[in-house]
């Protein structure tokens, strides 16, 4: 389901597709830079651009500066009536929805908080999708929905922190006359896509992204390809048995990594009652630990407990780095906050768990940069990948022909 493009295979793509992807990656790219960048003759690029302008996919604008020899060149931008995607992200306390054009710019965005009532949330999102469809018509080419749980096909199998089970999200986009792809993905997976396309991991060869809220999920993106597994559920790293084999995880298995680093693990370390909302609870404890660091106060229980979690993240990351051989590790959500508060402890545990040959130098661990927006942005990228494909562009052009014949 998550087919990612591979720049190494660009030779098989059409020139139109190569130009569109260049503009998507870098809106405002100079036309004069494309022949060398894409390995195409400049006359052919000019013809291709003219066709894409006529097809309402691109517009040409004046250059910010003149070309190398002082000759005028133009810049390429998404067409103001060009294709759009809708991306929605359900998080444990909010949901967001954005309409996004080629190049990744948001045309509009809404955000609402919620009380985890599935019917209420899904009804509200469905109404917003319908409104976007009314407003933008067939310019909308694909829809992506990020959810904080395990996804199989278009179904949310389980979202422990929302207490939602077996929700078919394809129902959100029903009664559509046009066949438009709807992609449902795990939020951590979409966040990984976002970081590799628009965030801190742009340019990395292989990225391990870990996203932590009520447990750890994530993805490996290997040379632009998302490692998605046969059923699209790869990346459930929190359920690797790096934890205590005596503890049962909410997934039903024993000894999952999550049992050592979720909100319940934190409350056990603090000898406190189990939290009602574990993500808010974790953020509150981490906030107090941060204060303890800033005030250099000795003997903070919060700092001790948070440091234990950071060690567990470091140790587990080492295991995953040994297995997947990434050149960069990105940490999102609560994991990024642990890195900030207890970087030394995390790093020591990470180095201790790495195979010796990986240590010189070890793959860097960095905080993700897109924050809570990452699942929304990654969804837009995945949806746009279906538009910026040979098939997607063909369907866009056919839509133009159908519209004119009506
Ligand atoms: Zn588990």
Q: What would the pLDDT profile of 335-372 be if each residue is shown by its tens digit? A: 999 999 999 999 999 999 999 999 889 999 999 999 98
Instruction: Provide mean pLDDT across the span 10-22.
Output: 79
Ligand 1 center to residue 184 CA distance, Å? 21
Give the separation between CA 128 and CA 153, rounded to whole angstroms: 22
Contact 188, 217 (CB under 8 A): yes
Average pLDDT, the chain: 90
Cα atoms found within 13 Å of the Cα of residue 291, Cβ hemisphere only: 9
Output 368-372 pairs: Cβ under 8 A, ≥24 positions apart.
368/191, 368/195, 368/199, 368/200, 368/209, 368/211, 368/330, 368/331, 368/332, 368/336, 369/195, 369/199, 369/200, 370/191, 370/194, 370/195, 370/198, 370/199, 370/200, 370/332, 371/332, 372/91
Ligand 1 center to residue 100 CA distance, Å? 35
Ligand 1 center to residue 237 CA distance, Å? 9
Instruction: Provide mean pLDDT across the span 172-186.
Output: 85
Confidence of residue 117 (pLDDT cuts 50, 70, 90): very high
Q: Which of 140, 152, 182, 161 minimizes the C-alpha distance to 90?
A: 161
pLDDT confidence of residue 4: 39
Ligand 1 center to residue 236 CA distance, Å? 9
Confidence of residue 98 (pLDDT cuts 50, 70, 90): very high
Ligand 1 center to residue 235 CA distance, Å? 12
Ligand 1 center to residue 255 CA distance, Å? 7
Confidence of residue 64 (pLDDT cuts 50, 70, 90): low
Res. 69: pLDDT tops 70: no
pLDDT confidence of residue 225: 86
Ligand 1 center to residue 256 CA distance, Å? 5
Ligand 1 center to residue 212 CA distance, Å? 14
Q: How many contiguous H segments (helices) and E segments (strands) does the chain have? A: 12, 16
Q: What would the pLDDT profile of 208-251 be if each residue is shown by its tens digit? A: 999 998 889 999 999 988 898 887 778 989 999 999 999 999 88
Proportion of the chain above pLDDT 90, given as a percent: 75
pLDDT confidence of residue 163: 86
Ligand 1 center to residue 43 CA distance, Å? 57
Ligand 1 center to residue 200 CA distance, Å? 29
Cα 268 to chain centroid, rounded:
31
Ligand 1 center to residue 248 CA distance, Å? 8
pLDDT confidence of residue 3: 36
Entry pTM: 0.86
Ligand 1 center to residue 257 CA distance, Å? 7
pLDDT confidence of residue 11: 42
Confidence of residue 278 (pLDDT cuts 50, 70, 90): confident
Confidence of residue 205 (pLDDT cuts 50, 70, 90): very high
Q: Which of 17, 6, 13, 24 minimizes the C-alpha distance to 48?
A: 17
Res. 72: pLDDT tops 70: no
pLDDT confidence of residue 92: 84
Partner residues linked to 96 by β-bridges = 89, 111
Res. 47: pLDDT tops 60: yes
Ligand 1 center to residue 328 CA distance, Å? 25
Ligand 1 center to residue 216 CA distance, Å? 10
Ligand 1 center to residue 253 CA distance, Å? 5
Ligand 1 center to residue 379 CA distance, Å? 25
Instruction: Provide mean pLDDT across the span 311-337.
Output: 96
Ligand 1 center to residue 252 CA distance, Å? 6
What angle do the packed helices 42-54 and 15-25 form, to 10 degrees? 80
């Amino acid at each position: 389901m998550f087919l990612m493009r591979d720049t190494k295979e660009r030779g098989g793509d059409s020139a139109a597709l190569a130009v569109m992807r260049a503009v998507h990656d870098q809106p405002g790219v100079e036309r004069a830079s494309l022949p060398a960048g894409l390995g195409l003759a400049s006359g052919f690029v000019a013809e291709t651009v003219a066709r894409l302008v006529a097809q309402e996919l691109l517009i040409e604008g004046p250059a910010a500066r003149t070309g190398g020899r002082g000759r005028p060149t133009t810049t390429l931008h998404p067409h103001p009536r060009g294709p759009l995607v809708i991306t929605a992200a359900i998080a444990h306390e909010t949901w967001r929805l954005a309409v996004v054009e080629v190049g990744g710019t948001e045309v509009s965005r809404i955000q609402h908080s919620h009380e985890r009532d599935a019917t209420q949330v899904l009804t509200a999102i469905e109404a917003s999708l319908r409104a976007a469809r009314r407003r933008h018509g067939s310019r909308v080419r694909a829809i992506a929905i990020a959810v904080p749980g395990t996804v199989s096909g278009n179904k949310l199998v389980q979202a422990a922190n929302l207490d939602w089970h077996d929700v078919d999200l394809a129902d959100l986009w029903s009664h559509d006359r046009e066949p438009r792809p709807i992609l449902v993905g795990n939020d951590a997976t979409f966040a990984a896509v976002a970081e590799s396309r628009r965030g801190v991991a742009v340019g990395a060869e292989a990225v391990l992204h870990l996203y932590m809220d009520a447990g750890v999920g994530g993805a490996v993106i290997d040379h632009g390809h998302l490692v998605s597994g046969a059923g699209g559920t790869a990346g459930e790293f929190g359920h690797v048995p790096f934890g205590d084999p005596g503890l049962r995880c909410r997934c039903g298995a024993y000894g999952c990594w999550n049992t050592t680093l979720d909100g319940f693990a934190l409350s056990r370390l603090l000898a406190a009652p189990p939290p009602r909302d574990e993500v808010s609870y974790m953020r509150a404890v981490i906030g107090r630990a941060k204060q303890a660091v800033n005030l250099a106060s000795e003997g903070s229980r919060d700092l001790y407990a948070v440091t234990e979690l950071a060690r567990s993240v470091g140790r587990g990351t080492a295991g995953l780095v040994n297995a997947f051989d990434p050149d960069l590790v990105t940490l999102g959500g609560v994991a990024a906050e642990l890195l900030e508060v207890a970087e030394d402890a995390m790093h020591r545990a990470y180095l201790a768990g790495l195979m010796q040959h990986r240590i010189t130098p070890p793959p860097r661990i960095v905080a993700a940069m897109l924050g809570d927006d990452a699942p929304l942005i990654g969804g837009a990228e995945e949806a746009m990948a279906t538009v910026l494909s040979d098939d997607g562009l063909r369907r866009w052009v056919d839509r133009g022909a159908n519209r004119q014949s009506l």
